[in-house]
Structure 1
Amino acid sequence: MGRRGFLRGAALATAVPLLPAWPAAHAHAKPVQAAGPALAEPFPLADVKLTDGLFAAKRALVLDHARGYDVDRLLQVFRANAGLPTLGAVAPGGWEGLDGEANGNLRGHYTGHFLTLLAQAHASTGEAVFTDRLRYMIGALTEVRDALRRDPVVLSTPGRFGRALEHVRGSYQYLDLPAGVLAGTTAVTLSAWVRPDHDASWTRVFDFGNDTTRYLFLATRTATGVPRFAITTGGPGQEQVVDGTAPLSPGTWSHLAVTLDGTAGTLYVNGVVAGRNPAMTLTPAALGPLAHHWIGRSHFPDPVFAGAFDQVDIFSRALSAAEIAHLQHTPSPGDLASYRLDETTGSTFADGSGRGLTATLRRTWGGPSHPGFLAAYPETQFITLESMTSGNYTVVWAPYYTAHKILRGLLDAYLTTKDTRALDLASGLCDWMHSRLAKLPKATLQRMWGIFSSGEFGGIVEAICDVHAHTGKPEHLALARLFDLDHLIDSCAAGTDVLTGLHANQHIPIFTGLLRLHDATGEQRYLDAARNFWPMVVPPRMYSIGGTSTGEFWREPGAIASTLSEVNAETCCAHNLLKLTRALFRREPAPKYADYYERTLYNQILGSKQDTPDPEKPRVTYFIGLAPGHVRDYTPKQGTTCCEGTGLESATKYQDSVYFRGDGDSALYVNLYSPSTLTWTAKGVTITQRTAFPVEQGTRLTIGGTAQFTLRLRVPAWCLDGFEVRVNNTVVTQPAVPGSYFDLTRTWQHGDTISVRLPFRFRTEATPDNPAVQSLFYGPVNLVARDPRKTFLRFSFHGKAALDGDLSDAFTPIPGKPLHFLAEGIEFAPFHEGTEDPAHVYFERHEPAIVFGGLDSGVANPVRANGFTLLDDLWSHAPFRSKADFVARVRSAARTWQLSAEDTAGVLATARAAY
């Protein structure tokens, strides 16, 4: 069933249906037949230059951000994970750091997005600043990978008495002391200079024990913020403790000491008694031999100490208060163990006690890493996923998703700079993934990939296939196939809709990868699955701006009005649907794909970027709230979410689908009317498109050079009449069918011009589950009502509709504000404007009476239980060829809706008088 038939059959109250070519989605649709080689190919970004216009203005904001953002902040989490100096940089925070959601278990993803941003920015502008930044980041990541392959080495920093040992936050490093360091002593003094760099609770200075039952520890900060010493042989419930009275100051050197003499414990901070427990009965001797003697690490799942240590000493007696005070300015080596920590190389530290108890620097997750591994967190995220049966993002948060972003960024960096280090990093990461995943049983892989959201892997299959195209390694292609999620692939290949309840963005990128796998393997089910999946989302799960998902998940097909909320249309979903749509267009250059691309690009994608410069944050939405009066949030979750990452990418490739070449370079598709210049090297021509679209309702293309080809101009599905083409000012007399291409075949001469007229019309689009809930369009532009009310606004438009269905008479242009209109006292504005005005994408149509051309018939507009009315039915047949055609349709509607003879007469009389 075509879109028009679908709209009528579902009783959608729309004056003019937008996309008559949309296929309907059914639970067991006939599988799509195999496609041959790609029929159309996009041009590289470098061959399509944006010129002044809406897209260039939006992009400029992101380019400025890309030029100025401190990339060492992005590299901080990678360097910290490898135990390298972080150059004083502060991680971005949010999802890209240790303080954000789930303790930053997704960190590293944003750096991958930024690499792609820089690569696309250079391709679009040619500016060296972007490639310079790419090479710097590639060099840093190469150093990170090398460091992960080695044992950790000392990171030396200025200390209290010379040099000191620094543990960068996120490095997971600690000092491991030999067994027997306490030597069964019945009294002890623990002494250390510490400079905590973070206020995390329960980070340890000392933790000597076997497990979480038998231990002693000295922590810099409890949950209440003060230092604590504890000793126990029976776990936390039997701890004997000494608490301090005030927090230590982060970033400042402090001296901590605790003495234990068998009857009392005393805690000192900077030489002053900070706490005392006179009823201590446990001593180190009571603990017996212990397995672990750690500095900076806990036996509990507490944070690893972040900061610096200097002059660590352990004494076999309880020092006096005077002796503790003396340590404030003069070090005195402990007789059990003493570490000056002034080494500047290596990973071991000499013991100054004379006992030869050399300390070793280690990582909590072991190490070194396996060859090729590169991430901003340890391999443990990947290892733990292999045994998980359900998701828990506070433990494991989509490590292969993060690997995808890094891999894609590295490959894009290589393609832009030709820096072979980037390809080596990408290839090595694929080698590492294959070495892990190829060893796992298929059942384990299927379980992993089905877990939300720990098993999410984004578009990694596409990226791996692209790496394989450069390396030719058979294990890389084998790796791509290890991500097959068979239930999803087989269901979609069979045309079975299993999407309800799935996490949308976890699954959309899978299908773009399947298309690349089909390219590489020829396996038919990959292609069938991707082609059948698309109409399961577009339009049945699509909001009018082009996006999909509610609270990140899919509901049942057609559930639109019933799902409007503050958390609709996750921006990543729109980004990835456009990537899939573009990939499908290569296989089948059908206008339906280009129509969807225009809808989503000109509305959700443009509108997701705020029209405000910001050197620190991308200012991109996460969710697009479609509930009435929603105000867009352009800085969600501290500014480093998945959607802000894809937002950076979207804003630097606006031009990627304006033009396609097809039929063996004998045809040029013009899919979008966007000011730009195409350099078609194979043909030796340029095509310059000059337009202010969508403010201007048309465009003008100028040919530079001479070549023969077919120019295929898209006739948008929304352009139902008036599409006109002139070549060198002469009208081309051939049919222009909405939702198709207008072909012009000739030998083009230098200076030839093609002028295209694209008349806009106002129209409404109704939701399938409530025809009274609608959105408004003017040509391709979604218009939103700006109003702070949190309930649906109600509008009546049918009474002012023209015979062709156009609603122009209902709207008054606002002078000086293009694409802004007033209707019933409310301002309507383009969704693509990135403002923080409260907006209504959807409103409620309220047409209580049958009114034609402003004339009220006095007859009530009958309505069905689902909200569909006689007027909805009538205007769904617009445009009408003539007044007689209109009156005939009114007569038919009166009969269908069983109006009385009197009401029918009144309605017909009004219809005849109205036009």
Structure 2
Amino acid sequence: MQKISRRSFLKTSAAAAGGAVLLRSARSANALAGNAVTPRLSQFGYADVQLLDGPMLEQFRANHAFFLSLDDDRLLKPFRQKAGLPAPGEDMGGWYSFSAEFDPPRNMTGYIAGHSFGQYLSGLARASAVTGSKPTQQKVQRLVRGFAATVSKKFYMDYPLPAYTFDKTNCGLIDAHQFAADPEALAVLNHATDAVLPFLPEKALTRAEQEARPHKNIAFTWDETYTLPENFYLAWQRGAGPRYRHLAERFLQDKDYFDPLAEGENVLPGQHAYSHLNALCSAFQCYLVSGSDAHLRAARNGFDFVRTTQSFATGGWGPDETFRAPGSGEIGESLEKTHASFETPCGAYGHFKIARYLLSVSGDSRYGDSMERVLYNTILGAKPLLEDGSSFYYSDYNDSASKFYHQDKWPCCSGTFPQITADYGISSYFRSARGVYVNLYVPSKVTWRQNGTLCSLTQRTNYPLLAQSSLDLQLDQPEEFEIALRIPAWAGSGTQVSINGRKVDQDISPGAFFLVRRTWKSRDRVEIEFDMPMRLEAVDPQHPNTLALTHGPLALFAIGESFGQFDRSQLMHAAQTSSGSSDWQVESSTGKVRFTSFASIRSEKYRLYQKVL
């Protein structure tokens, strides 16, 4: 196999009532001819959006190069071992390789061998579509062929999390088919499905139901059957066959999760945070395929509960990977009890997915607001993957916080990291029959056809460190369409939009898309300048004086180990050290304190929330 070094690749790489009845009836509501719902907004293809120089492109390129350079034999080794085939290559170690040391929860080495293979395959398939990289496409197809030779029921014998791992495998194979044009991927998926089905329960199980079953050790109670429907529905939509829709319906966790959510009951507290947010994507796909409004309500209500009752000022959620009871004060208490505040690559990946889904059907800009908050304050600050599988896992919001790698190699967040960075482009823009929606203000170029006219929009910006973005148009010929600009809910009254240097005389409403419809021509320029106020956000209602300082979408972190005392006025008078800087200065009782963005923090100690007089 030809090996491509990361260094050479980096140099050359381009670029709420009645829900229960509807939930139960949705399963047989529509024939298999197609989806019942067409969202009002659609995603662009991966190749339609090109990231330009900036932190998102840098992060995407690093992840693309990292996984392109990983040895195929190492990735395939656990599958070959279980199949009794020759298994050359070094063990990857950590969670990824079989190990006699596995003794949960004391020793997680060998936890779920091969678990993240499907995610790595998915990330590479998406990257191949983003870049058009032939070596990446070829690697995806080699891995599919190599995996195909290993598929056997033997793999899942005495395996603690069959649903968890197969769901990732499913995702990787359908993405290999869809985004890397792999001709064998769906046939391999059908074979892999046959292999895992004897090891899956008859329905999605709650954690309590799993604990009540006989189990070898505690790890066998942690499987996530309730996340399976999303990728089963996607497999059906992408042509894998009708059984995938039936499997999706079989594993919908309606009784214990989606039914109460659809009726407005918050059943999140006490649940595993990432997997239960991720399961909301299954509810959405059920809505898309079957037209079940109750499943849409479940997805929407569940996500709203996360945004409004579980989230830190960063947009992150789930301290110790657990949703907390509203009104308990446990979010604020976590600042002194844990350093595992937000499961970052996994949480950000799931957050972006469900936000994209809900934005597509609603056109509601608040979902974009939540995406940019998570982007700038969590995932863009993730430490890079290391060659030995060291992975950034938790963002730390403790009163004495730092950035650190997870203690185990190749954990789950090593798989979602390349997936979310490959998704940055498709998260930035949406389109409708009427035009293009600008969701994220990031350096990028989007290309599409509007009424047959080839159009492109190039966005240049250093947002949010600078409060402006400019968008330049190129068109084959003049064309009438709509450009919709997301105006964040935090935007102040001074926010304004100009076209070719002239201010647009329309009211701008924060928390909505600003629509401009006109006949556009090449070299037209749209400029938006945001009024970015300083704000203070309490960690929860039970701790009203424990406050995070925010500027626009950015949460600002105090740097150092001791800060003196702040009052509200001092924090609200924070001053950016220079135009476009990532640093602010704030006066405290003991002098000036540096505040900065999460992405700018390296090895320093920091604190997100300040206890204010």
- Could you say which TM-score interval applies, normalised by the shorter chain? 0.7 to 0.9
CA contact (8 A) 1:669 1:711 kept: yes
Equivalence for 1:770: 543
Aligned length: 559
Question: 1:49 corresponds to which letter in structure 2?
Answer: Q
CA distance in 2: counterparts of 1:111 and 1:414, whole angstroms: 15
598-607 or 812-821, larger mean C-alpha shift: 812-821
**Equivalents in 2 of 1:474, 1:653: separation in Å?**
28
Q: Does 1:378 align with 2:151?
A: no
Q: Distance between the aligned counterparts of 2:83 and 2:508, measured in 1?
A: 61
Question: Structure 1 residues 788 and 129 mapped into 2: Cα distance closer, same or farther (>3 Å)?
Answer: farther
Task: Answer whether contact 1:785 1:840 (CA < 8 A) is retained.
Answer: yes
Q: Is the 8 A contact 1:402 1:457 kept in 2?
A: no
Alignment of 1:453-852 (within 5 A): 453-457=221-225, 459-471=227-239, 473-485=241-253, 486-558=255-327, 559=329, 560-564=331-335, 565-571=338-344, 572-607=346-381, 609-610=382-383, 614-617=386-389, 620-633=391-404, 635-662=405-432, 665-683=433-451, 684-705=454-475, 706-767=478-539, 768-789=541-562, 794-798=565-569, 807=572, 810-814=573-577, 818-824=581-587, 825-833=592-600, 835-846=602-613
Aligned-partner Cα distance in 2 for 1:576–1:692: 26
Residue 45 of structure 1 aligns with which residue?
46
TM-score, normalised relative to structure 1? 0.58
Q: Which amino acid aligns with 1:735?
A: D
Letter in 2 for 1:496: E
CA distance in 2 between partners of 1:631 and 1:534 (Å): 28
Deviations 1:861-890 (A, max 9, x none): xxxxxxxxxxxxxxxxxxxxxxxxxxxxxx
User: How far is the alpha carbon of 1:441 from its aligned partner?
Assistant: 7.7
Partner of 1:795: helix, strand, or coil?
Answer: coil
Secondary structure of 1:538's counterpart equals helix
Instruction: Look up the SS of the partner of 2:320 in the other structure.
Output: coil
Query: What residue number does 1:118 align with?
Result: 124
Verify the 8 A CA contact 1:457 1:506 in the aligned structure 2: no
Structure 2: distance between partners of 1:457 and 1:505: 13
Please give the root-mean-square deviation of Cα atoms over the aligned residues, in Å: 2.8
The one of 137, 144, 150 equivalent to 2:143 is 137
* SS of residue matched to 2:149: helix
1:439-474 Cα shifts (integer Å, max 9, x gaps): x48999993599885331364211111111233633
Q: Which residue of 1 aligns with 2:10?
A: none
| Contact kept? 2:119, 2:168, Cα under 8 Å | yes
Say whether residues 1:83 and 2:89 are aligned partners.
no
Measure, in 1, the Cα distance between the counterparts of 2:136 and 2:40.
Answer: 33
- Offset of residue 774 of structure 1: 0.8
- Do the aligned residues in 1 keep the contact of 2:484 with 2:516 (CA within 8 Å)? yes
Q: How many Å separate the matches in 1 of 2:74 and 2:205?
A: 39
Counterparts in 2 of 1:691 and 1:836: CA distance versus 1, 3 Å? same
Q: CA deviation at 1:763?
A: 1.8
Q: Based on CA coordinates, which of the two structures has the bigger radius of gyration?
A: 1
Structure 2 counterparts to residues 155-166 of structure 1, below 5 A: none
Q: Deviations over 1:252-309 (max 9, x none)?
A: xxxxxxxxxxxxxxxxxxxxxxxxxxxxxxxxxxxxxxxxxxxxxxxxxxxxxxxxxx
- Cα deviation for residue 402 of structure 1 reads 0.7
813 and 547 in structure 1: CA distance in 2 versus 1, 3 angstrom threshold: closer
- 1:133-177 CA distance string (max 9 Å, x none): 1111111101112xx3xxxxxxxxxxxxxxxxxxxxxxxxxxxxx
Equivalent pair of 1:658/1:670 in contact (CA under 8 Å): yes
**Aligned partners of 1:449 and 1:457 also within 8 Å:** no
Report the alpha carbon displacement of residue 783 of structure 1 after superposing the two structures with TM: 0.9
After TM superposition, give the deviation of residue 812 of structure 1 in Å.
3.9
Partner amino acid, structure 2, of 1:64? A
The offset of 1:428, in angstroms, is: 2.6
Equivalent of 1:422, from 158, 166, 185?
Answer: 185
Distance in 1, matches of 2:532 and 2:258, equals 40
Q: 1:96 to 1:603 in 2, by over 3 A?
A: farther
Paired residue secondary structure (1:794): coil
Say whether the 8 Å CA contact 1:431–1:476 is kept in structure 2.
no
Return the offset for 1:91.
2.5
Distance in 1 (CA, whole Å) between partners of 2:49 and 2:205 is: 45
C-alpha distance in structure 2 between counterparts of 1:775 and 1:600, whole Å: 15
SS of the residue corresponding to residue 656 of structure 1 reads helix
| Residues 472, 143 of structure 1: alpha-carbon distance in 2 compared, 3 angstrom cutoff | closer
Structure 1 residues 450 and 826 mapped into 2: Cα distance closer, same or farther (>3 Å)?
farther
Query: Judging changes above 3 Å, is the alpha-carbon distance between structure 1 residues 735 and 536 closer, same or farther for their aligned structure 2 residues?
Result: same
Per the TM alignment, residue 549 of structure 1 is displaced from its structure 2 partner at its CA by 0.9
Q: How does 1:175-574 map to 2 (within 5 A)?
A: 369=153, 377-381=155-159, 396=160, 398-433=161-196, 440=202, 447-448=209-210, 453-457=221-225, 459-471=227-239, 473-485=241-253, 486-558=255-327, 559=329, 560-564=331-335, 565-571=338-344, 572-574=346-348
* 1:751 aligned counterpart, secondary structure: coil
Pairwise CA distance, 1:436:
6.1
1:68-79 equivalences in 2 (<5 Å) = 68-79=69-80
Structure 1 unaligned spans of 5+: 1-27, 149-368, 382-395, 802-806, 847-915
- Give the whole-Å Cα distance in 1 for the aligned partners of 2:520 and 2:391: 42
The alpha carbon displacement at 1:724 in A equals 1.2
Deviation at 1:616, TM superposition (A): 4.0
CA deviation after TM superposition for structure 1 residue 530, in Å: 1.0
1:208 — aligned with what? none
Instruction: Find out whether 1:108 has 2:109 as its counterpart.
Output: no
Deviations 1:734-791 (CA, angstroms, capped at 9, x unpaired): 11111111110012112211111113232211122211001111211111011124xx
Q: d(CA) in 1 for partners of 2:412 and 2:196?
A: 22
Check conservation: 1:698, 1:758, Cα contact below 8 A: yes
The structure that is helix-richer by fraction is 2
Q: Deviations over 1:631-659 (max 9, x none)?
A: 111x3133311122212222222222111
Shift of 1:830: 0.5
CA contact (8 A) 1:813 1:821 kept: yes
Task: State the shift of 1:546 in Å.
Answer: 0.9
In the alignment, residue 602 of structure 1 is paired with which amino acid? Y
Change (3 A) 1:754 1:137: same
CA contact (8 A) 1:434 1:476 kept: no
Alpha-carbon offset, residue 682 of structure 1: 4.8
1:561–1:770 CA contact under 8 A, matched in 2: yes
How far apart, CA to CA, are the structure 1 residues paired with 2:376 and 2:109? 36
Alpha-carbon displacement from aligned partner over 1:877-906 (angstroms, at most 9, x marks no partner): xxxxxxxxxxxxxxxxxxxxxxxxxxxxxx
Q: Is the 8 A contact 1:504 1:554 kept in 2?
A: yes
1:479 aligned counterpart, secondary structure: helix
Q: What are the within-5 Å matches in structure 2 for residues 847-886 of structure 1? A: none
1:874 aligned partner: none
SS in 2 for 1:585: helix
**Gapped regions of structure 2 (runs ≥ 5):** 1-15, 24-35, 214-219
**How much has 1:713 moved relative to structure 2?**
0.6
